[in-house]
Amino acid sequence: MRMTRRALLGQTGAGLGLAALAGLLQDDGFGRDVGVQQGQQGALAPQGPHFPPRAKRVVVLWQGGGPSHVDLFDPKPGLEALRMTELPESVRRRARLSTMTSGQGSYPILPAIRPFQRYGESGMELSTLLPSIGGVADHLCLVRSLHTEAVNHAPGVTLWLTGSQLPGRPSLGAWAVYGLGSLSQDLPAFVVMTSSDQDRTCGQLFYDHYWGAGFLPSKHQGVRLRASGDPILYLADPPGLSRELRRGALDDLAALNQRHLDAFGDPEIATRMAQYELAFQMQASVPDLLDLSRESASTLAMYGPDVQREGSYARNCLMARRLLERGVRFVQLMHSGWDQHRNLMTQLEVQCRDTDQPSAALVADLAQRGLLDDTIVLWGGEFGRTSFVQGDISRLDGHGRDHLGSCFSMWLAGGGFRGGHVHGASDDFAYHPAEGALHVHDLQATLLHQLGFDHKRLTWRHQGRDFRLTDVHGEVARGLLA
Amino acid sequence: MLPLSVVLLSAVQLPPAGLRAPAPPVDFAREVAPLLADRCFACHGPDEAAREAGLRLDRREDALMPAESGRRAVVPGAAADSALVARIEHPSARQRMPPPSSGKELSAAERATLARWIDEGARWSSHWAWTAPEAAAAPEVRDAAWCREPLDRFVLAGLEAAGLAPSPEADPITLVRRATLTLTGLPPTPDEVDRFVADVAREAAARAADGPAGGAARPDAYDRLLERLFASPAYGERAALPWLDAARYADSNGFQQDGDTQQWVWRDWLVQALNDDVPLDRLATLMLAGDLLPAADARAAQEQQVATAFLRLHLLNGEGGSIAEEQRNVIVFDRVDAFATTFLGLTAACAQCHDHKFDPLTQREYYALFDYFNRVPESGRPDTGGAYRLAEPFITVPSNADRVLLAQAEGALDAAEAALTQQLAAPGLLAAEADWAARTLADARRLSLGPWEAAAPIPATSFDGAYATAWEAAKGWAPRPELVDGAVHRLTGEATAFFFRRALQVEPGPGSASEAGVTLHFGSDDGLRVWLDGALVLEDKASRAAAPDQARVSVTLAPGAHTLVVLIANGGGPGGLWFEARVAGLPVQDAAELAGALPSDLPSDLPRDLPNDIAGEAGARSPETAARLRAAFLAAAPPTEVAAALAARDTRRAELEALRATLPRVMVMSDARPRETHVLSRGNYEAPLEAVTAGTPAFLPPQPPDARGDRLGLARWLVSAENPLFARVMVNHAWQLVFGAGLVKTAEDFGAQGAAPSHPELLDTLAVSLRAGGWSAKELHRTLVASATFRQSSRLTGERGARLMALDPENRLLARGARRRLPAMLLRDVALAASGLLVRELGGPPVYPYQPPGIWDGLAITKEREFTYPQSSGAALYRRSLYTFWRRTVAPGNMFDASQRQACKVRASVTSTPLHALTMLNDPTWVEAARALAQAAMHREAGLGAQVEFAFRRVVARGPAPDERDVLTRGFMRAHERFAADAAAAEALLSVGESARDVALDSAAHAALTVVCLTIFNLDEALTCE
């Protein structure tokens, strides 16, 4: 793996030749491990799929806080007749509640606050609060029978995104890029963006471990693309340092490092030289990524007026498409705003307005560009919400629903998931799965399956054990697949 | 067990087949045990619940027994009769072991090894790490003169067996930089480099003069260098870093709200202990059980408690709905994990849910360990609110500086109290009090309050509407005698106006004193409006819960009847009212009562100087009444001198309180809440099985029969001479610090799934001598760094380099020096030190150096608390990285490859990505350091060449070669041309960072040299300990 001085300078002086550089990196072009990890045969290369993958890319549209499946995805017309009657104790007792309502004296039923309607040729029933998502219903695979043991936000999100309620494991995206490597030379393989409801009523925080590498090499961690300041930390050259000067300084650096490589012979030096070149390239490719001037008016209109606002969920959805088409493997949008304990009546509609159109636009946009076939879109949050009311029903802004882990809904699109399909069903109270129950680990296994991995074999030896995303659980849910 | 060199030897130096001697017998520990553990134990290992076919392969006696099938898996001496061989060789994939679906198939060579081992008698030996280490005799080597420390003979023996020679010694400049970086994490200064180089040259000359006989004179220059490094406080700061990772050290809780903590007191304790070279057995005992050890005095007891914060650095979840008992169990799991990983090199967490699959640790034994850590009086959630969220038990720990300040403040308060006492004893004070009392209490006696009446509540559409309701609207008044003064009364009705009214009667006073002063005090939920005789006297549009004394108004009332009307406007939830009328700060009722305690026949025109006999009457009051009256008097009308003394006392008291509030509170261990510990089914706290009591695993040597059943007993067992793990693990940590990788590469796992030691006899010999030598970490580090092994050059050039890369890419044989990139924490320290910006101050609260804007914006979406990064200024920007505030949920943006500090981690991973390059090229930390380094160079040296040389040496210790200087000089010219033409660009670059710059320097030259210095900081050599 020696890099000759001429090879390197010949490439970099012209600012070209990234493909050649990538060849020097032994693996996926964006970062590499130093040294060989114990027990990791071939740790220097991406693991590669176990079987032909159905999907190449993933975008997670994370809806933090716990969207109310009762109001949005899981119609229970029968609850109207039971309005404000007690949820049967036999139903309630079987599930854990958060301590916010586990001591509540009364559990009156509150049916969905808005009507449902059928959408698309498939006739999928969704809330009228989600007209745009309804518009792409025939692309969606809606799961109404998910469950998780978590009843609080941070453990719930951590379980969904890392496979364990406790922080410390690699995230879903880190596993995916560990397995698949990168399609891009000059963008990170795993990119994260955040947004929140505009009134900041939700209070859900985003922690680094939601996109962390855990015990995998840190190059697999998600890189945040930020709405303000440097879009990627430390991307901008220092003030006063022109691109030409930076280029010249990097050429000096390369010359000196090459000299040192000749004298010391350590291949790590060659790796380092390549990383500095890629850094320079990234400084050019990221601004290009962010430049929306060549997006057509009709595309921008699809995502809605909020797309003009940096850091909005709509803007992040559009950025997600641009990242995916540039070869980023895993895009994770973290949006918060669904934790409506007491403001369901006032905030649910606001949340839907902010997220409905952009979410649907991303699906449609990927579809019209032919990317949806091999891109998985996942929409959902850490759990659902109770069909009983929390708080003071007499106050419009004083009531809502508590967390419910025992049953909730999510939807997927593309990447080989069945469009226009509803999987599973909940009981009469949307409180427990009644058929087709799927645990979070099952859906994780299914996602990895679509990426070409047996979730039991995508492992990393850590502390004497082969860890995997799904811990010791998970079955591929073949019923979701086309 | 054979060392790695033997494996390599056999791979490299196999003689031609015809001449081959009979193969040596199969070595169980090296060749068979890892195969059985990795491929078989998952179903045929120690975990009883997961065991298939009744076959257990980790113990010989079990493996030789017939399994459920009746067949014997292993028949010693007869592979052909052994079911194990039949199954691993089975032609049918469905019958073959391990099952192909497990992905753990055996290769043909591995199958042959197993068969041959059975044919040779199937000898078992216990896992190397479970038996006590024994010192080995230093092996014979050909090149004994190369060796400097006993350890070198072990390394050299391995090299010679592999047909390799060690690398030559690194040049003195490389050596001084390597040793200084390794032991202090800082680069040597050019002076230190020069001194060492001169020292070495002088010694070489002396040796040459003395002839070969005097050649071994000690201590040599290098030993003196090490002595200086070990005496530097920077040693403790450097040596602490791996401990911080093991302790999952952070300055916040790491979950929702992510409250800050003050566990940095433990970090300071750790650095000090390492600098003091506290023996490692004592260090471990303090961390595990300092609170249970006897202490010389209260200070020592407190310090010992602080040490146990190692077990209180877990995450803490204060989320609204979190279930305390669940979180508490998670915390105890974390403690067991941190203990076992850090001190035993054991992966105990596997046994949380089931018997360990690879190591002989049962689930029951796991919970016996759990029991040691399950006695803390904690709830599982933080107990304090606000920015600092701490969980009981915690203690307040003043630093030495704090203690001085505290003593000063306490002394000042004592003095102020004494002065006040003196004032209060002054003659005439009692008379003044009686005078005031008589006048005031007469006023109070003239005032009387009727009972409250309430109007019918008036609903409105909103809080605003309720608040705006006119008092004339109140109708339907009814007496409400139950609304007594001084208590919060609950009101029901949202967006509602509640009206109350009350009669006030003032009797005419004696003489000319006709008016009475009274203060009306209110508490309200939510808004409040008050009318007196129809005139609005108080408005307070608040939204709150009712509490005493939230609003007040003072009025002067003429004799006669008055009417008080009060509106409480409630927004949402329950409403509330609280009321008191006070005269001179005393509630009217109290005042009347006190008045009753005065002689009733006091003349109405009390003389200014009250006669002594009245004072005597006052003496008849109860002490409580007297104290209350005194307090009211001093609050309302103190004489000037007393007021001054009171104010001084209050100021001193407030200062002391303020100081106390700044003292750090440290979460520590305590056994004050013993609980019954149960085995938890699959680790689920809601599914307890049988009860267990504290104990240590049976596969390790037992505790003495009279051992304590608490953490102190556990710690003593850990550091006992019989324990086979602790000393080896400590040696391995030290080896990892010095050589980059441990002798056991899996520092966290000494079990069956971990890596075998590369030099087992060496590991054991060092472990034995660590214990025999009194557990000195400094001596252990010294022997490693002083070794010839450490001093080798790390070059990999030429044919030898190619051969080493092919033969031993990971440098496990140590035929060359370890060359490795520094951790990001030290990269920053190196830049600060080389630039001269570094502030060498030990310890203290965490600091907030440069971070990108919005680094915490992922947290800022809560309104519960402020999450703006409170960037430091001045000296705090330039402290060593270990003092940087570590928010557990969002690590500092420029500390790439750092442990996430969420779980115990004893081995770092190093990666290389473009993001790292961007950090060091663009982070203001490095840009400012480059500017400061350039400035220092321009101050010290005149010519460009000398300036470049100065900067180069400050960073990489050596001077640049002529061609390197040429590259950098050309780089300077290029930049200078640009900056000379664009002064604004130069100014912009030079404006990065807060430190002052010398504006007298030519800015184009300064900026251009800054660019050059930034290039130097980014040299691979600068990032590397080579």
Say if the Cβ atoms of B912 and A34 lie within 8 Å.
Answer: yes
Q: So what's the pLDDT on residue A11?
A: 38
Average pLDDT value for residue range A165-192: 89
- Give the residue with greater pLDDT, B120 vs B320: B120
Choose from A164, A186, A192, A266 for mutation: most chain B CBs within 10 A: A266
What is the distance between the alpha carbons of residues B87 and B106, in angstroms, rounded to a whole number?
11
Omega before residue B393 within 30° of 0, cis: yes
| pLDDT one-digit tens code per residue, B537-547 | 999 998 888 88
**Minimum distance, in Å, between the CA of residue B570 and any CA atom of chain A:** 13
**Minimum distance, in Å, between the CA of residue B992 and any CA atom of chain A:** 8
Say if the Cβ atoms of A403 and B321 lie within 8 Å.
Answer: yes
Q: Where residue A45 falls among pLDDT bands split at 50, 70, 90?
A: low
Cβ-count burial B906-941 (b if 16+ within 10 Å, e if not): bbbbbbbbbbbbbbbbbbbbbbbbbbbbbbbbbeee
Q: Where residue A201 falls among pLDDT bands split at 50, 70, 90?
A: low
Rg of chain B taking only CA atoms, in angstroms: 39
Percent of chain B at pLDDT > 70 equals 92
Average pLDDT value for residue range A42-46: 46
What is the distance between the alpha carbons of residues B1014 and B178, in angstroms, rounded to a whole number?
22
| Half-sphere CA count of A361, side-chain side, radius 13 A | 24
- Give the residue with greater pLDDT, B444 vs B31: B31
Q: Where residue A165 falls among pLDDT bands split at 50, 70, 90?
A: confident
Choose from A3, A194, A233 for mutation: most chain B CBs within 10 A: A233
**Minimum distance, in Å, between the CA of residue B1015 and any CA atom of chain A:** 6
Q: Are B703 and B696 in contact (CB under 8 A)?
A: yes
Could you report the predicted ipTM of this complex, rounded to two decimals? 0.78
| pLDDT one-digit tens code per residue, B580-628 | 988 777 777 666 665 555 544 444 343 333 333 344 455 556 677 677 7
A394 interfacial to chain B (CB closer than 8 Å): yes
CB < 8 Å to B863, chain A: 200, 203
Determine the distance from the C-alpha atom of residue B114 to the mean position of all C-alpha atoms in its chain, rounded to a whole number: 47
* Of the partner residues A151, A223, A257, the one whose CB lies closest to the CB of residue B915: A223
Lowest mean pLDDT among A238-242, B250-254, B272-276, B321-325: B321-325
User: Tokens 């006899």 label which residue?
Assistant: B761
Please, which residues bridge with residue B540 across strands? B528
Provide the 3-class DSSP secondary structure of residue B665. strand
Choose from A205, A219, A459 for mutation: most chain B CBs within 10 A: A205
User: Tokens 């590397």 label which residue?
Assistant: B1024
**Minimum distance, in Å, between the CA of residue A42 and any CA atom of chain B:** 14
Reply yes or no on whether the pLDDT at A38 is more than 70.
no
Reply yes or no on whether the pLDDT at A39 is more than 50.
no
Average pLDDT value for residue range B466-484: 89
Q: So what's the pLDDT on residue B861?
A: 58
**Helix axes of B298-307 and B264-275: crossing angle, nearest 10 degrees:** 100
Q: Which of B28-42, B399-413, B555-569, B973-987 has the highest mean pLDDT?
A: B973-987
What is the distance between the alpha carbons of residues A176 and A28, in angstroms, rounded to a whole number?
13
Q: Which two tokens stand for residue B678?
A: 């149960």
CB < 8 Å to B1011, chain A: 241, 245, 249
**Minimum distance, in Å, between the CA of residue A449 and any CA atom of chain B:** 16
Number of residues that make up chain A: 482
| pLDDT one-digit tens code per residue, B497-510 | 999 999 888 887 66
Q: So what's the pLDDT on residue B648?
A: 94
* Of the partner residues B321, B358, B909, the one whose CB lies closest to the CB of residue A217: B909
* Of the partner residues A240, A255, A264, the one whose CB lies closest to the CB of residue B1026: A264
A401 interfacial to chain B (CB closer than 8 Å): no
**A 433-452: CB under 8 A from B:** none
| pLDDT one-digit tens code per residue, B207-226 | 888 765 544 445 689 999 99
- Give the residue with greater pLDDT, B37 vs B937: B937
Those residues whose C-beta lies under 8 Å from the C-beta of residue B900, and which sit 6 or more positions away, are: A167, A168, A208, A209, A212, A214, B888, B891
SS (H, E, C) B296-309: CCHHHHHHHHHHHH
Q: Which of A177, A278, A276, A167 is closest to A220 using CA atoms?
A: A177
Q: So what's the pLDDT on residue B621?
A: 62
Q: Where residue B59 falls among pLDDT bands split at 50, 70, 90?
A: confident
Q: Are A330 and A55 in contact (CB under 8 A)?
A: no
Q: Are A445 and A475 in contact (CB under 8 A)?
A: yes
Cα B552 to Cα B422, B520, B539, B558, B582, distances in angstroms = 34, 6, 10, 19, 10
Average pLDDT value for residue range B974-979: 98
Say if the Cβ atoms of B927 and A238 lie within 8 Å.
Answer: yes
Say if the Cβ atoms of B795 and A264 lie within 8 Å.
Answer: yes
Q: Where residue B655 falls among pLDDT bands split at 50, 70, 90?
A: very high
- Written as one letter, the residue type at A129 is L
Q: So what's the pLDDT on residue A405?
A: 94
Choose from A198, A215, A256, A334 for mutation: most chain B CBs within 10 A: A256
Average pLDDT value for residue range B998-1003: 96
Reply yes or no on whether the pLDDT at B512 is more than 60.
no
Reply yes or no on whether the pLDDT at B236 is more than 90.
yes
What is the distance between the alpha carbons of residues B390 and B316, in angstroms, rounded to a whole number?
9
Say if the Cβ atoms of A248 and B971 lie within 8 Å.
Answer: yes
Lowest mean pLDDT among A478-482, B61-65, B945-949: B61-65
Q: Which of A282, A231, A353 is closest to B857 using CA atoms?
A: A231
What is the distance between the alpha carbons of residues B693 and B707, in angstroms, rounded to a whole number?
13
Q: Are B33 and B752 in contact (CB under 8 A)?
A: yes
Q: So what's the pLDDT on residue B595?
A: 54
Angle subtended at Cα B720 by Cα B714 and Cα B722, rounded to the nearest 5 degrees: 115
What's the DSSP call for residue B265?
A: H
Q: So what's the pLDDT on residue A13?
A: 35
Provide the 3-class DSSP secondary structure of residue B448. strand
CB < 8 Å to A100, chain B: 320-321
What's the DSSP call for residue B603?
A: -
Residue B863 burial (CB count, 10 A)? 11
- Written as one letter, the residue type at B400 is N
Residue B29 burial (CB count, 10 A)? 16
- Give the residue with greater pLDDT, B430 vs B80: B80
What is the distance between the alpha carbons of residues B99 and B106, in angstroms, rounded to a whole number?
10
Q: Where residue B1 falls among pLDDT bands split at 50, 70, 90?
A: very low
Closest residue in chain A to residue B1009, using alpha carbons only = A249
Lowest mean pLDDT among A23-27, B254-258, B904-908: A23-27
The four Cα atoms B406, B410, B411, B416 give a dihedral, to 10 degrees, of 140
| pLDDT one-digit tens code per residue, A102-114 | 767 789 999 999 9
Reply yes or no on whether the pLDDT at B150 is more than 90.
yes
| pLDDT one-digit tens code per residue, A370-406 | 999 999 999 999 999 999 998 888 777 788 999 999 9
Q: So what's the pLDDT on residue B214?
A: 45
Average pLDDT value for residue range A400-418: 96
Q: So what's the pLDDT on residue B864?
A: 63
Provide the 3-class DSSP secondary structure of residue B821. strand
CB < 8 Å to A461, chain B: 753
A396 interfacial to chain B (CB closer than 8 Å): no
- What sign does the dihedral A236-A241-A247-A252 (CA atoms) show? negative
Choose from B331, B911, B1010, B1011 for mutation: most chain A CBs within 10 A: B911
Residue A31 Ramachandran class (φ > 0 left, ψ -120 to 50 alpha, else beta) = left
Q: Are B501 and B590 in contact (CB under 8 A)?
A: no
Reply yes or no on whether the pLDDT at A12 is more than 90.
no
A28 interfacial to chain B (CB closer than 8 Å): no
CB < 8 Å to A398, chain B: 572-573
Q: So what's the pLDDT on residue A104?
A: 74
Q: Rounded mean pLDDT of chain A? A: 86
How would you classify the pairing of strands B1024-1025 and B820-821?
antiparallel
Percent of chain A at pLDDT > 70 equals 88
Say if the Cβ atoms of B900 and A167 lie within 8 Å.
Answer: yes
What is the distance between the alpha carbons of residues A252 and B974, in angstroms, rounded to a whole number?
11
Q: Rounded mean pLDDT of chain B? A: 88
pTM for the whole structure: 0.79
Cα A319 to Cα A370, B523, B614, distances in angstroms = 17, 53, 88
Q: Where residue B629 falls among pLDDT bands split at 50, 70, 90?
A: confident
Q: Are B288 and B339 in contact (CB under 8 A)?
A: yes
Q: Where residue B449 falls among pLDDT bands split at 50, 70, 90?
A: confident
A218 interfacial to chain B (CB closer than 8 Å): yes
A346 interfacial to chain B (CB closer than 8 Å): no
Q: Which two tokens stand for residue B934?
A: 């350039």
Please, which residues bridge with residue B453 across strands? B479, B501
- Written as one letter, the residue type at A266 is D
| pLDDT one-digit tens code per residue, A275-322 | 899 899 999 999 999 999 999 999 999 999 999 998 899 999 999 999
Average pLDDT value for residue range A200-218: 78
| Half-sphere CA count of B901, side-chain side, radius 13 A | 29
Q: Are A442 and A453 in contact (CB under 8 A)?
A: no
Q: So what's the pLDDT on residue B860?
A: 66
Q: So what's the pLDDT on residue B918?
A: 95
Q: So what's the pLDDT on residue A25?
A: 39
CB < 8 Å to B921, chain A: 234, 237, 246, 276, 279
Say if the Cβ atoms of A196 and B341 lie within 8 Å.
Answer: no
| pLDDT one-digit tens code per residue, B348-373 | 887 887 787 778 888 999 999 999 99
| pLDDT one-digit tens code per residue, B741-780 | 999 998 988 988 788 899 999 999 999 999 999 999 999 9
What is the distance between the alpha carbons of residues B45 and B351, in angstroms, rounded to a whole number?
13
Count Cβ–Cβ pairs < 8 Å, chain A vs chain B.
Answer: 311
Q: Are B339 and B369 in contact (CB under 8 A)?
A: yes
